[in-house]
Structure 1
Amino acid sequence: MAGHPRKRPIWRGASVVLALLSAAASLAGCGGKQPDAAQVLRVGNQRGGTHALMLAAGQLKDVPYKIEWAEFPNAQPLIEAIATNALDLGLVGGPSFLFAYKNDQRLRAIQALSGGTKQEVAGVLVHKNASFASMRDLRGKAIGTTRGSVGHSLLLQALRQSGMKPSDVRISFVAPTEAVAAFASGDLDALAIWVPYLATAVLRHDARVLTYAHRGTSSYLFQVTSESSIKDKRALLEDFSRRYGRAQSWANSHPRQWGEILAKETGLPLDVANYTAEHMRWWPVPIDAQVIESQRVAARDFGTGGPAQNFDIARGFDASLNTDPTAKGKPD
């Protein structure tokens, strides 16, 4: 996403205007039926994300309501905007949702997308010429990641799989663009990051993937909204989620076309965009017991450094909007 996390106050200032738009839109009401053209759906967009994908797949044609897009550098400020009613919806990784839900249990995940058990959207990177052959070789080394991100979750998984603790390495929590810059300058020995930042590090800064930390379970993305947005804009949220599911299914089978449009819409170099499109494959799936249990497991992975264990993550999911007939099952 274009932008920088230090610009976060802009979104808080904009929340007044967006709240007024939301209030005006809610007067029309959707009545749980068809989307109302007088309503506005405010959608958060991360770099390489929702807007470009839906545009590429033709899913922004003939939308029977207005969509207002807001750009964010990563998931944390996007979810904060949802929590403060400055935004209605945004796509985030499972770890980001867990961290946010711990602090605000009015948030709801209404759509799930699975990356399968061998997802390569995020990884632990090291310098190409470094001698590191396994996570154990990183003992005492500096590793950069973004707190509460899919990279953070993956790093903790990788450490645990190697019989290590977070205290065995030096973790620096920084924004993704800053993490890549620090890695490129040699200030970090390793990087736990996701595409397109992972692609940039590999293609521009001589990084190589040390591990994807696969653990035999699927990784997930979630469309996240709030209780108030569900109450006021249910039909819009359901329509948008279906469109996004169709867009992602299209991208899975048209990675080259998706990469070209991703580059055009985001300003990413074409090779970075193509790498991202090839690795960022997700499938719409039902919100079911398996999805919810996966998040309980993820919460345990975070341990004391992550979401608390004394809340019911199942209440953070609303499957009543997850009625997309294309969401049939999880990939291998």
Structure 2
Amino acid sequence: MNARWKAVTSIAALGAALAGLAGCGGSGGGGGTVRVDVGYQSKTINTVTAGTLLRDLGHLERRLAELGRRNGKTYKVRWYDFATGAPLTAQMIAGKIAIGSMGDYPLLINGSRSAGFDDARSRFVGVTGYNLRGSLNQVVVPRDSTARTLADLRGKAVSTSVGSAAHGMLVRGLRGQGLQPADIEILGQDPSVGVTNVESGKAAALAQFVPYPQQMIFNGKARLLYDGGAIAFPTFHGIVAREKWTRDHPEVLEAFLAATKDTTAHLHRDPLDSARRVARATGLQPEVVYLYNGAGGLVTFDMTIKPQLVDALRKDVPFLKEIGSIKELDVDAFTDDGPLRRAYGPGYDRDAASLTNPAAIKGRDEICDLDVTDPRTASEAWIGEEITPAANPTCLLRLVKKRGGEPRAVYAPSADTGTKLFADAASWVRDPRAEWPLLPFATPEAAAAYVGGHPGAQTLDYRAALAAA
């Protein structure tokens, strides 16, 4: 690992937690009681269907109560909330947690670290949510920063969670622009610490996973410098379970996965209610939660283990070995979709083959008089207590202009990658030759690239785009 990578908190936290938890009991219970200890990350909101929302809706407890009526056992669920995947992994290895949810890189670290412990060896058993392009990881800078590309961060401090997918995205992005990790100072920090350091000027940028980058943008504290979607490399979060514990209690893992499916179905039926529930439970703004978890959101919630995601895990292993986070891992042996297939029921193979977001933006565009059908352009405005669809970003701006006042949030997909954005924080382009002339982009760099290839197009900010609508 490069000497300038400082404060590797993910690894330090793992060691500290292991030391503190050595000798703790397992998640089994004596007699007719089975204790089910579940680890989750409440603020990592693309795990909500196996964490925050699952807990709020109570589907797991109901499933286990029904199971207990059949087999005479009592199941007691205990929930443990973590800031990152590292301490969750530590408690799984220590025998404290039976089932947990975390990001793709932490999943690999979990599988590698637990492989040496017969009682703690884990398996990757399901997905919570994914983004095939990688837009769940982003780099933000203060609004007044002069940086326009990742190359402008040369020699500066960047906060990230070392060993996370956000860290991997940062390194891939740097190398794509001709830089190496040694060209910047990487600060290994928990997300909340990184946010504080960027706001106080101790770090020039934050490279993180959901929801921290867009939360800073929504609060007016930052702007997007780099979208992980530019890499077009999948990122996701998933479910990991201790193999021995779930072999002893297979009915619990099946109930957990079935309850996660129940929760996913609720999110698809009512994404706004789901976002509000998660916001109440976490203290995050519902507008930020909805950007990720809402209709057509940055996260596609789908439990099935898709070949594209397993392939991404294989390609992630070399980076984690390079930085010393893992020694080795057989991804295929680590992956086990058997329990999920049993819990999921008919349709698993069909859904595993599909890459369509089940929670699409639908409806009728009242301004442009069009059906909202194309996920590449579908947009939404949250005005008052109502979310209204628009067929494309141009129609969205016309809607906002007609309604007047300040909407709670305005959402539109980036014209190049499809990354869902807060439209008022996007970089806009007016292209008079386009069918719909107003186009949002995730970053100024992306907008400038479009203008360079389209004569007559010009960049403009949100207010000017709204006026042009």
Same fold (TM over 0.5): yes
What amino acid maps onto 2:323 in structure 1?
Answer: G
Alignment-derived partner of residue 316 in structure 2: 298
Distance 1:69 1:39, change over 3 A: same
Aligned to 1:320: 338
The alignment covers a number of residue pairs equal to: 317
Kindly report which structure 2 residues correspond to 1:90-239, keeping only aligned pairs within 5 A, or say none.
90-105=100-115, 106-204=121-219, 206-214=221-229, 215-239=231-255
Q: 1:183 to 1:227 in 2, by over 3 A?
A: same
* Structure 1 position 249, deviation (Å): 4.1
- For 2:22 and 2:198, the matched residues in 1 are separated by 34
The CA deviation at 1:192 is: 0.8
Q: CA deviation at 1:55?
A: 4.3
8 Å contact kept, 1:99–1:306: no
Q: Is this contact kept in 1: 2:163–2:320, CA < 8 A?
A: no
Deviation at 1:148, TM superposition (A): 1.8
The separation in 1 between residues aligned to 2:332 and 2:17, in whole angstroms, is 33
The residue type equivalent to 1:66 in the other structure is K
1:74 maps to: 84
What secondary structure does 1:62 align onto?
helix
Q: Is the 8 A contact 2:317 2:329 kept in 1?
A: no
Cα–Cα, structure 1 residues 186 and 122, in superposed 2: closer, same or farther, change >3 Å?
Answer: same
The residue aligned with 1:54 is 54
Mapped partners of 2:25, 2:291: distance in 1: 35
Q: Following TM superposition, by how much is the alpha carbon of 1:188 offset from its aligned partner in structure 2, in angstroms?
A: 0.8
SS of residue in 2 equivalent to 1:211: strand
Q: What value does the CA root-mean-square deviation take over the aligned residues?
A: 3.0
| Larger RCO, structure (CA 8 Å, separation 6 or more) | 1
Range that drifts further, 224-233 or 166-175: 224-233
Deviation at 1:161, TM superposition (A): 2.5
Taking the aligned partners of 1:268 and 1:288, their CA distance within structure 2 comes to 30
Q: Which residue of 2 aligns with 1:24?
A: 29
1:39 shift after superposition: 2.0
> Is the contact between residue 17 and residue 90 of structure 2 (CA under 8 Å) also seen in structure 1?
no
Q: Aligned in 2, Cα 1:282/1:288: closer, same or farther, shift over 3 Å?
A: closer
Paired residue type of 1:47: S
What CA distance in whole angstroms lies between the structure 2 residues aligned with 1:107 and 1:7?
16
**Structure 2: any 5+ residue segments left out of the alignment?**
1-11, 65-74, 116-120, 357-469
CA distance in 1 between partners of 2:216 and 2:94 (Å):
34
TM-score if structure 2 supplies the norm length?
Answer: 0.61
Residue identity in the other structure for 2:355: P
Question: How far apart in 2 are the matches of 1:212 and 1:248?
Answer: 26
Deviates more, 1:275-284 or 1:145-154: 275-284
* Distance of 1:53 and 1:11 partners within structure 2: 28
> 2: distance between equivalents of 1:81 and 1:62?
26
Segments of 5+ residues of structure 1 without an aligned counterpart are: 29-37
Aligned residue number for residue 262 of structure 1: 278
Measured at CA, do residues 170 and 17 of structure 1 come closer, stay the same or move farther in structure 2, by a change above 3 Å?
closer
Look at both structures and tell me which one has the larger radius of gyration over its CA atoms.
2
Q: TM-score, normalised by structure 1?
A: 0.83
**Identity rate of aligned residues, in percent?**
22
Do the aligned residues in 2 keep the contact of 1:151 with 1:194 (CA within 8 Å)? yes
State the AA in 2 paired with 1:84. A
Distance 1:196-1:134 versus aligned 2 partners, 3 A rule: same
- Report what 1:32 is aligned to: none
